Homo-oligomer: A and B are copies of this chain.
Amino acid sequence: MAAQEVLERQFPGRRAQLKRDILMTALTCFNEQGLEPTTILDIRTRCATSVGNIYHHFRNKEGLIAALFFCVLDDQARLREAYLDAARSAEEGVAALVGAYLEWVTTEPELARFQFQARSSVAKGPQAEELAERNRQRNRQIHEWMLHQSAREIHAAPPELLPSLIIGQAESYCRAWLSGRVASQPLDFKAPLAKAAWASLRIFS
Chain A interfacial positions (CB closer than 8 Å to B)? 34, 36, 117, 120, 123-124, 157-158, 160-161, 163-165, 167-173, 176, 179, 182-184, 189, 192-193, 195-197, 199-200, 202-204
Contact = CB atoms under 8 A, between A and B. Distances in A.
B164 A176 contact: yes
A151 to B, nearest CB: 16
Contacts of A199: 196, 199-200, 202-203
B172 A164 contact: yes
Given A158-B192, A164-B170, A165-B169, 12 more contacts: A160-B173, A160-B176, A160-B182, A160-B183, A161-B173, A163-B172, A163-B176, A164-B169, A168-B169, A168-B170, A169-B169, A172-B172
The 4 closest A-B pairs by CB, nearest first: A168-B172, A168-B169, A196-B200, A164-B172
Nearest to A123: B179
Contacts of A123: 179
> Which of A123, A169, A203 has the largest count of B CB atoms less than 10 A from its CB?
A169
A179 B132 CA distance: 12
17 contacts: A36-B36, A157-B192, A158-B184, A160-B182, A161-B173, A163-B172, A164-B169, A165-B169, A168-B169, A168-B170, A168-B173, A169-B200, A192-B203, A195-B203, A196-B200, A199-B199, A199-B200
Nearest to A167: B172
Given A172-B171, A196-B203, A189 B36 contact: no
A163 B197 CA distance: 15
Contacts of A160: 173, 176, 182-184
A157 B173 CA distance: 14
Contacts of A161: 173, 189, 192-193
Contacts of A172: 163-164, 167-168, 171-172
A163 B161 CA distance: 19
Contact of A204 (B117, B167, B192, B200): B192
